[in-house]
Structure 1
Amino acid sequence: MCEPIADRDVELIRIAGPMQPAAFRLACFPHAADSSGALWHLARQLLPSVEVLAVRYPRHDVRDADGTMGDLDEVVSESVRLLRGWTDLPLALFGHRSGGEIALRVAGRLEQETDIAPRCTFVANWGASPKFETVRLRSPVVALAGATDVPAQPQWRACTRDRFEVEAWVDGGRLLENRCADIVNLIHDQLISTPIE
């Protein structure tokens, strides 16, 4: 089942199994230069135990020279508004490349404005930029890294007061393409092992 849910310009694409209800929900934030369709392969492998909400950014967004979203605050705010209605299942967040910053900021806003902290926030192939304003989550962060992402680890670690882990692959330059099965297994393991508050 693939169902679009829109609020202003940000849209969620709900990818769920038609027969078996999921135990967890994962909101996925793609890289600004990619579409939510880039996450379809990941979503298909996570079913049926994990339902995916793939975030689609505004079509008219202004991208900076490095490919990040121009109006990040608006994207974060609209994503938080949409996700508030999808916390009936344990919720985790996944951000790929520049989507990692969005995922962390959304997690921070959810913790500040609701009584639900994400079960875990995953950031993949993301080197935090010097402009990134560190959030201080009270929920776990797991970084999925390639060899070139390792120097950003101190910035990732500073994003949480809870558990922090790094899973690094030497050949991990394109994790969603080259390590999708490994990512799926890791997400499943993390969601199952993280206690619900």
Structure 2
Amino acid sequence: MVELTTTANAWVRRFHPSPAASRRLACFPHAGGAASTFHQLSARLAPAVEGLSLQYPGRHDRRAEPFLTDVRSMADMAYEALRPWVRPGDGSAPALFGHSMGAIVAFEVALRMEAAGTAPAHLFVSGRRAPSTYRDERVHLRDDAGLVEEILSLGGTEPEALADASLLQLILPPVRNDYTAIETYRCPPGVALRHTPITALAGDADPKVTLEEARAWAGHTAAGFELEVFEGGGHFYLAERQDEVVSTVTRQLGVSPVVAAG
């Protein structure tokens, strides 16, 4: 049985506990996102793969906590939170899945796991260009109207929620914080994983990552790389392409695909 630390209890959500799962998948949300982003994916993967969904400080049930303002601080604390799920007996660690900003946080966590001698089973990077690519984006410096425009352009958030002033007060602070964190992140040249294979997932209609930028993730691992392209998929393709995502994850993790009930 996993013994949880206080840090783990704060960071990790187990929506569908599966103690007998042969694999675990730790999922990292996008900028402004929360652990609930991965509730459906967790349901689809259980019980063969247990989902561990990360909850960043400053949102939902952690709203009273201060934000973490840089990616490496997020990765430091997420790494500590995931340590209870590393099985000391065989040295195995959860696979990691990150979407958008979460892909970079997951990459940094993977680097920390490898440095500690326990490589993740796999790293899935979704909707995010490789750390070695760069765009001079400054969304975090926009006013509130500019931030709302950015959110609407990506989809994934109901326009009605952004038109509600009270909801907007809850939505914008974590979005601005996380955009600051990801837009000020820089990866030194040559940083790569040695033992963790990477699968990049990208929609071919995603304005935040070209397929060339997604392929550049190949330069960040010596353990094998694959690119999965979702035709017609935008930035939040995850919501509509669950079957394909589940198929990709289970294939790479070597477990049987989960068959939806009914």
TM-score range, shorter chain: 0.7 to 0.9
Relative to its length, the structure with more strand (as a share) is: 1
Deviations 1:1-40 (A, max 9, x none): xxx974199611123346x711100000000211111110
Equivalent position amino acid for 2:108 in 1: R
1 CA distance for matches of 2:242 and 2:186? 27
Distance 1:21 1:8, change over 3 A: closer
- TM-score (normalised: structure 1): 0.83
Confirm or deny: 8 A CA contact 1:100 1:124 kept in the other structure: yes
**Counterpart in 2 of 1:185?**
247
2 CA distance for matches of 1:123 and 1:5? 27
**Counterpart in 2 of 1:34?**
33
2 CA distance for matches of 1:155 and 1:9? 35
- TM-score (normalised: structure 2): 0.63
Query: Which residues of 2 match residues 1-197 of structure 1 at below 5 A?
Result: 6-7=6-7, 11-17=11-17, 21-59=20-58, 60-61=66-67, 70-88=69-87, 90-113=93-116, 115-128=117-130, 130=134, 131-133=185-187, 135-138=191-194, 139-147=196-204, 148=206, 149=209, 150-173=211-234, 174-192=236-254
Deviation at 1:175, TM superposition (A): 2.1
2 CA distance for matches of 1:141 and 1:15? 25
1 CA distance for matches of 2:218 and 2:10? 28
User: Unpaired segments of 5 or more residues in structure 1?
Assistant: 63-69
Deviation at 1:180, TM superposition (A): 1.1
1 CA distance for matches of 2:104 and 2:243? 23
Task: Name whichever of 129-138 and 29-38 sits farther off.
Answer: 129-138
Equivalent position amino acid for 1:133 in 2: C
Deviation at 1:127, TM superposition (A): 2.4
Relative to its length, the structure with more helix (as a share) is: 2
Distance 1:158 1:43, change over 3 A: same
Q: State the SS of the aligned residue for 2:223.
A: coil
Confirm or deny: 8 A CA contact 1:5 1:14 kept in the other structure: no
Equivalent position amino acid for 1:162 in 2: A
2 CA distance for matches of 1:48 and 1:101? 27
Superposition misfits of 4+ residues, deviation over 6 angstroms = none
Task: Name whichever of 136-145 and 151-160 sits farther off.
Answer: 151-160
Identity %: 32
2 CA distance for matches of 1:53 and 1:8? 10
Confirm or deny: 8 A CA contact 1:9 1:58 kept in the other structure: no
Equivalent position amino acid for 1:86 in 2: W
1 CA distance for matches of 2:127 and 2:72? 22
Distance 1:175 1:6, change over 3 A: farther
> Relative CO higher for 1 or 2, CA cutoff 8 Å, sep ≥ 6?
2
Confirm or deny: 8 A CA contact 1:137 1:162 kept in the other structure: yes
Equivalent position amino acid for 1:166 in 2: L
2 CA distance for matches of 1:6 and 1:175? 34
Please tell me the root mean square deviation across aligned C-alpha atoms, in Å.
2.3
Residues matched between the structures, number: 181
User: Unpaired segments of 5 or more residues in structure 2?
Assistant: 59-65, 135-184, 256-262
Deviations 1:55-81 (A, max 9, x none): 00010326xxxxxxx222211111111
